[in-house]
Structures are given as C-alpha cells and as structure tokens.
Structure 1
Amino acid sequence: MQFPTNLRWESIKELRILPRHGVFYLEWVYAKPSQPHPLDPTKVLAIDHGVDNWLTCVSNLGHSFIIDGPKVKSFNQGYNQEVARLRTNKPQGFWSRHLSCIAEKRNRKMRDAVNKAALWVVNSCLEHSIGRIIFGWNQGQKQECNLGKSNNQNFVFISTERLKERMEELCQHYGIEFIEVDEAYSSQASSLDGDELPNYGEKPDRWQPSGKRVKRGLYQTARGWLVNADANAAANLLRKVSRTLGLCLKGLSRGVLTAPLRVRLWTV
C-alpha cells in the first residue's frame, strides 16, 4: 500500500480504519492550527439556502452571489433514479456491490460539492474582511417539509446540513463568527419595504407582506420592483439580526438584490 506523500507524520494524532461500501478506508487525523484573520464583526454575510439556488449570499457591504445548485441536484436525481431502477422487483432491503459502487461515487461528488461551496463562501468573507456569517435555518425543516414527491427527493437528500456544518468548521478555523437564525417569513416579507419579520409561531394577527412572489425566483416589492426572491430572503435575515448586532444596512439596495453573481462550482 502506497501512502500519500504529503503526510506530516509528526502531527498525526489518530488513525481511523473505516469500512464503507465493501472496502476499508484509512484516515489520518491531525490537528490543524487555527488561522485567524483581521476581520470586522460589523461586516456580515447572510445566507439563504435552497435547491436550484443552493446558497444565496447577501452582505451588508453591497455585494451578493449565488452558489448554483442544478449540478448538485442533477447527480443527486441520477443516483436516486438508478437506485430505484436496480431495486425494482427486488426484495425489501436489497443491496448489491454495484449499488455500493454508485453510492460511493455519489457520496464523493457530494463531499466535493460541499467542500467547494463552503470554501468559496469563506474565502469571499476573508477577501472582504467579513467577520460574521448569518445562516438561515429551522431545526428539522428537511424532515418536516412536504414539497411534493419530486421536490422532497431533491431537498431532503441534498446535504445542505452537512454544508452548514462544514462552513461552521471553516469559520471556526479562520475566526469568523457563525450564527444560525430562524428564517421564518424571510421569503414572504419584502426587505426593501421594511416589512416586519416575526419569529416562527409568533405571526401577529392580520400580518401581511407588502410584496409578493410573482413567479419562481422572482419577488415583487410594494413599489413594483422585481428582485431575486432568494436574495430578498437573505436580506431579510440581515434585517432580523441588524438591531441585535448593531449592523449598518446602507449597503442593501435594489441593485444588490436584482442581479447576484452566479457561481458554478465546477466551471469557476
């Protein structure tokens, strides 16, 4: 067996032998010292997650970008369809070596996507000296959602929770504060109109957003402006914590929410 050439043997703390899909994997574990950077806690990036737009990111500095999701959704759907085909007319619980191979291939692609997306977001924060990341998240949301058979298949098995965990690990390493925020009503309220943002289960009587989602991916404000719906949701996450964290939101504008930069992980 040939070991990797970049191992630092003096730093290795642990060896792990892991059985997975019919083979054994050997992992070398070593401590990686943190690398704090000069960051500004008043500079904040908010993240709204989804499927086609895997991560939509808006900062209070006036820039925005989207980590594209269709590639991840595509190989996830292909894996699910192939597993369903191979298990057709087979006994319940059927598994085979071929199924193990395609499962391992899918899992490697998913890990690669998670690492690429998390690193892109963190590098963007380091480039702009952003000291905090706000991540919209509701506990148990993937298990409790009912979006129809096709959408549930996409949403539940795309590893957004693993992506969130990986991003949190990188934030800890570089000294970025990672904050989870209840994302209730963030996609319904209009950020540019300053709509009230109640917490989950606390919606006041007769609460109505001033804007509306006119079609998939497009939100219309009370003034008739059309903005990206997911960017609007991310901006609302910033608004949810602005008073608590003492943030300046002058950088949020119609232009920031209209045309975010789209990042395609395998072509950048």
Structure 2
Amino acid sequence: MEDLKPNYQTQKILLSGNVSDETESYLIWACHLSNNLSNSTLFSVRQAHFARCPRREFFDKNDFYRSEFKDRYVSVSYAQLCKDFKFNHNYIGLGGQQAQQCIKSVVESIQSYNQLLKKYWQKEIDIKPKLPNYRKSGGLNQVTFPSQAVTYNKYEGYCSLAISNEARPNLEIKKLIIPSGVDFKPEQLVEVRITPSNGKLWAEYVYKSDKKQANDLDYSQAIGLDPGVNNWLTGVSTLGKSFILCGKKIKSINQKYNKLVAKYKKGKSNFSWDSFLANLTHKRNCQRRDVVNKAARFIINYCLVNKIGNIVFGWGKEIKQNSNLGKINNQNFVAIPTARLKKRIKELAEAIGIKFIETEEAYTSKSDYLAEDCLFKFGEKPEQYRFSVRRITRGNYRSKFGIICADALGAINIIKKVAIQLGISLVEVGRESLIVPKRYDLFSNLKKLYRKRSEMVLRLSRSNA
C-alpha cells in the first residue's frame, strides 16, 4: 500500500472566558510583545533594504520631477535577525522559541513579497505588490508556541504553555493552563497559536494527521457544485440526483449584522469601534464558521455515501471584486463566505482522496443541457449564437423539455465543462434531476449524527480494504 504523507489540520478553541484571568492577562501581554517585535523586525529589514536600494529619478507624464526607490528583491536572513534581536526586551519577554516564531513570520512575509514581485515582472499578476507594512502600534499579534514549549495532557483535557524566564518571577501563576484539543495524540502536535480576534483570544492547535484514504470511490462519477446566494450551493451528480443547500439564513445573519452596526454607528465616525461591535462581529463570525463547516461536511458525506470520486466546483476568478449588482445585492453577495466554503471542501476532499476540480462557470446557467446547447468559455461565445432556454421567473427557465431550475442547470453544465478531461459520462442526468432538487436547511436539517455519517462510511471503507 502507498505510504500516506501526513497533512496538517487545525482545531480552533475559544480561550476568553474559559481560562483564568491571570492566564488571559499574560497571553494578552505576550500578544502585545509579539506585535512590538514584529514591527521592530520589519523596521530593521526595511531600513536595511532602503539603505542598499538605489533611487530612480524621472519626470512623470505631467512633467513633474519624481524620485523613488527601484523595485528590488528584499534580502533577509532569519538567522541574522534572531542574532540581532537576541537582547531586545520584547524578544526576552516572549521567550526564545516564541520570539523566533514571530521573527520567522516576518521573514515569510518578505519572502512572499519577493515571489509576488517576480510574478509581477513576469506579467503573471497585474497589481504591483507592496512591501509588508507595520502593524498598528499598541495592537495584538499572534503568538506561536512550538511543540517543545507545550505540555499536552490529552487525558485530563488541558495544555500547559511555556512562560519566559523574565516574566516568571512577576507572575502569581506557575503554569499557563488552557483547554486542550481533541482527537489527536501529543506526538502529533506541531504548535499552538494564540490568536487575538475581535477582543477574544483563540487557541489554534496545529497537528499532523495521516490521510484517511477512502478505497471504494468511483472516479467515473462526479458532482457539480454551483454557488449562489439564496441557493448557496446547488449540486447535481452524474448519478442523476440533485440537492440545494439553502443560503437564506446566512443572508439574514449578514443583513441583521449590517443593520445593527449601521444603527449603532449612526452619528459616529466610520472608524469607531468598541466592545459591543467586537462582540457582535465575534458572534457573526462564529455563525459563519459553523455553517461553512456544516456545508463542507455535508458535501463530503454525500460523496462518501454515494461513492463519488470527483467534486467539480464552478468559480469565477475575482467575481466578488468585480461585482456590480446594486447596493443591496452586492451587500448580500459579497458577505456570504463562498470562497471559504470552497477552500474547506477542497481541504476535506483531498484529505480522503476525493479529487477537487475548480472550473470557470461562464454561460452555465444559459446553455440548455437537455437541448445539447453549446457551452463556451468566457468571452468566446459568438454574438449571433442564441441559447435555447428562456427565463420565466427568478431562478426558473423554460427549456424545450419543460421548466427547469437554473441553478441545477448550472451545476450539471459545470460538470459538462470538464467531462471530457475526466472521462465522465452524463447519460444518467435527466430532466427529473433538473426540476426540483431536494432542499436542505443547514441550521435545522443537519444534525450532528448526520454529519458524523461520513466518518463512519470512511471507517467502513478502510476496514473492507
């Protein structure tokens, strides 16, 4: 059997309200030090770069004299930075390993800038990248504790984090105790990240997990997914079945959030922020994260139960950045976390051996699959060509073979775009699957027992191998 390389997974646990006041105060103080060290490191890198970087003098199109630094790669050495900041009070206060992780994050951001700059010169991207900027003074930054600085007690349900030698004499507590993660062994733990967000502290457990390969998947079958708003995700499979994940409740959550924020900020500055808005945003973000996980787990469960080996996701590049649907529709469309859902489905699918294919979705809701209309790539449709379907109501089309659901039509056409490359047959997809897909409400229909079915099916497939 082929050796399965470990992949990394993350568990996120809320700390605020679940740890002692002393522990929370220390972690907030550590996040302040991390913010200061990040800015100090970035300042050192930027100043060294500008000192070596030549200036370019020129006249612009309006004949004004200009002077600016020439674009060059930023040379950065992680080892040298650690050596330079070894006696910095922020470095000492955080502790060696935590401070090194903070410096490493700055180095990685510089390296990402260099890679983007190279792609910009090679015309692979249109927007010129900018050097990483400083974090807000006095703010909080993530603190990372590597596994060597963590004592993980799986059986008693807690985790102990290292305290720097400088801070230890001034603390009343001897250990930093936080709730532990679940379903992984101590030797699998890679790091624990303390992340501030909207006035709350979170613990992110990063650990190695072996891929659980499903052995009975049929790679001649596929499911096409068409994202939307009210119909958040519409799926049609090559087995002739279809469904819709309802997005109305997600839209209402965003509408309520925007309404409360607008009412609270009336007469105040647009940049005003306080604990009420932080708690409101925290609640909205938790609801969004929960529904993304439920929807992604539903898709994976559906594929495992029906032994589908391919997921084809229709996606338009930079579709939200270029959206022009009006003020209200833009607010609904942009705020729905479809991109995050796509990423989560891809992560879960690849972890168990399901192939994830992303394709552009131009003309998928206009081309009549039943009438065998042509399906073009974006911008390649001849002006004189006319599709067979005709809209009669919002979301419904009149085809030559009757009324069909526009989103279901889009989902099957998404598969059609890649059917030849994947060797997929669409003969079982008929009019019935495009009329009335079964609708699921993510907040009421999907119980915990249902979401666990995918894990049970996966265990059975492994045991039968």
Contact 2:359 2:414 in 1 (8 A): yes
Letter in 1 for 2:194: I
When the two chains are superposed, the root-mean-square deviation of aligned CA atoms in Å is 1.2
Q: Which residue does the alignment assign to 2:186?
A: 9
Deviations 1:34-80 (A, max 9, x none): 11112111100000000000000000111111111111111111111
Q: 1: CA distance between counterparts of 2:299 and 2:181?
A: 29
Contact 2:368 2:389 in 1 (8 A): yes
Alignment of 1:158-169 (within 5 A): 158-169=336-347
Letter in 1 for 2:405: N
Q: 2:415 matched to 1:238?
A: yes
Q: 2: CA distance between counterparts of 1:146 and 1:5?
A: 43
Letter in 2 for 1:235: I
Q: Which residue does the alignment assign to 1:266?
A: 443
Q: 1: CA distance between counterparts of 2:412 and 2:386?
A: 18
Q: 2: CA distance between counterparts of 1:22 and 1:242?
A: 48
Deviations 1:144-200 (A, max 9, x none): 111111111010011000000000000111111111111000011111111111101
Give, in angstroms, the shift of residue 215 of structure 1: 0.9
Q: Which residue does the alignment assign to 2:382?
A: 204
Contact 1:191 1:233 in 2 (8 A): no
Partner SS for 2:194: strand
The ranges of structure 1 where at least 4 consecutive aligned residues each deviate by more than 6 angstroms after the TM superposition are: none
Partner SS for 2:411: helix
Letter in 2 for 1:199: K
For this pair of structures, how many residues does the alignment match?
267
Identity in percent: 42
Q: 2: CA distance between counterparts of 1:259 and 1:71?
A: 20
Aligned with 1:252 (options 429, 446, 450): 429
Between 3-12 and 102-111, report the one with greater CA deviation.
Answer: 3-12
Deviations 1:206-256 (A, max 9, x none): 111111121112111134x00111001111112111222221111110101
Letter in 2 for 1:176: I
Q: Which residue does the alignment assign to 1:25?
A: 202
Q: Which residue does the alignment assign to 1:153?
A: 331
Contact 2:226 2:410 in 1 (8 A): yes
Aligned with 2:322 (options 137, 144, 147): 144
Give, in angstroms, the shift of residue 12 of structure 1: 1.0
Contact 2:234 2:244 in 1 (8 A): yes
Letter in 2 for 1:36: Q
| Structure 2, gaps ≥5 residues long | 1-18, 20-177, 446-465
Alignment of 1:97-136 (within 5 A): 97-136=275-314
Contact 2:315 2:360 in 1 (8 A): yes
Q: 1: CA distance between counterparts of 2:376 and 2:332?
A: 28
Larger radius of gyration: 2
Q: 2: CA distance between counterparts of 1:85 and 1:160?
A: 27
Letter in 2 for 1:196: C
Q: 1: CA distance between counterparts of 2:407 and 2:375?
A: 16
Q: 2: CA distance between counterparts of 1:238 and 1:27?
A: 36
Contact 1:67 1:265 in 2 (8 A): yes
Q: 1: CA distance between counterparts of 2:181 and 2:194?
A: 19
Q: Which residue does the alignment assign to 2:391?
A: 213
| Structure 1, gaps ≥5 residues long | none
Contact 2:367 2:389 in 1 (8 A): yes
Contact 2:181 2:205 in 1 (8 A): no
Q: 1: CA distance between counterparts of 2:247 and 2:309?
A: 26
Q: Which residue does the alignment assign to 2:247?
A: 69
Q: Which residue does the alignment assign to 1:96?
A: 274
Give, in angstroms, the shift of residue 9 of structure 1: 2.4
Q: Which residue does the alignment assign to 2:39?
A: none
Q: 2: CA distance between counterparts of 1:107 and 1:246?
A: 40
Q: 2:269 matched to 1:84?
A: no
Q: 2: CA distance between counterparts of 1:141 and 1:57?
A: 20
Partner SS for 1:244: helix
Contact 1:56 1:234 in 2 (8 A): yes
Q: 1: CA distance between counterparts of 2:264 and 2:359?
A: 41
